[in-house]
Copies of this chain bind each other. A is one copy, B any other.
Amino acid sequence: MQTTALLADMVSAMSARRSVRQYTDAPIDDALLNELLEAAARTQTMGNLQLYSVVVTRNAAMKARLAPAHFNQPMVTAAPVLLTFCADYHRTTAWCRARKAEPGYDNFLSFINAATDALLFCQSFCNLAEAAGLGLCYLGTTVYQPQQIIDALQLPRLVMPVATITLGWPDGQPAQTDRLPLSAFVHNEQYVLPTPSSIDRDYSAKEALPENREFVAINHKETLAQIFTDIRYTKRDCEAMSQGLLDALKRQGFLE
């Protein structure tokens, strides 16, 4: 059974990782950023087409313009670099048109293929950046109000933003968050439906954490789950943002 020193180092680094929202004033060298992007681009990609682009934001005015799309979270303007990862069939389509080939990628499957390529590339970049000692925070807000980002970054048809990370040298070390046990998310051969007792087994440690109990108390809720359903990710918000996301996919040409 082959295992390597690299594995031990990576497992150790991954096991200690945390999202970083506060950065020092130190800049990120262009050569380092390019080294990380180039290595990340070795990630598997559909048909070797690399159906992604990344927009690098260093300009303060552009950070300020992107901030509202990310609910003005302070790390958007404070981080030295923002990276917006995009599902991109525009470039491949332009290549086809320049080469007497008739592309047919203005459809939903092609969006999912390109979004997948972009997200896998993004995560390899994150793994590499953290190994370089950089800290990052992943902004899920990218798909909440995508049209603002599309406009700011001038994304053309068949380009859709799917992930943003804020990147910088860590200022301090935040606390590490918990994770569910493997029994919550690993299934053997077929999916085993959760039961009240498997829910208790997998979630009770999380619910018992002092920070989560306090979070429930200060929000005057009865359970931790209510924090998510009533405050953080409400049905009403999810439905409204679903419509905005579908509208943006239509405008970008990925959906009829």
Q: Measuring CB to CB, which residues of chain A are less than 8 angstroms from any residue of chain B?
A: 1-4, 6-7, 9-11, 13-15, 17, 19, 26, 29, 32, 34-44, 46-50, 52-59, 62, 86, 88, 90-92, 94-96, 98-105, 107-110, 112-113, 115-116, 119-120, 122-124, 126-128, 131-133, 137-138, 140, 143-144, 152-156, 159, 162-163, 169, 177-180, 182, 184-191, 193-194, 196, 199-200, 203, 222-226, 228-230, 232-236, 238-239, 241-242, 245-246
Contact = CB atoms under 8 A, between A and B. Distances in A.
Nearest to A116: B119
A187 B84 CA distance: 10
Contacts of A140: 46, 113, 116
A154 B47 contact: no
Contacts of A52: 185
A191 B104 contact: no
User: Of residues A115, A187, A193, A239, which shows the largest number of chain B Cβ atoms within 10 Å of its Cβ?
Assistant: A187
A6 B10 contact: yes
Nearest to A46: B140
Nearest to A181: B38
Contacts of A128: 7, 10-11, 14
A238 B4 CA distance: 41
Given A11-B128, A17-B42, A102-B229, 12 more contacts: A14-B42, A37-B182, A62-B190, A91-B184, A92-B228, A98-B196, A101-B226, A107-B239, A108-B245, A109-B241, A123-B123, A153-B187
Nearest to A119: B119
Contacts of A127: 10, 123-124, 127
Contact of A191 (B32, B38, B143, B155): B155
A235 B194 contact: no
A254 B132 CA distance: 38
Contacts of A191: 53, 55, 86, 153-156, 159
A100 B186 contact: no
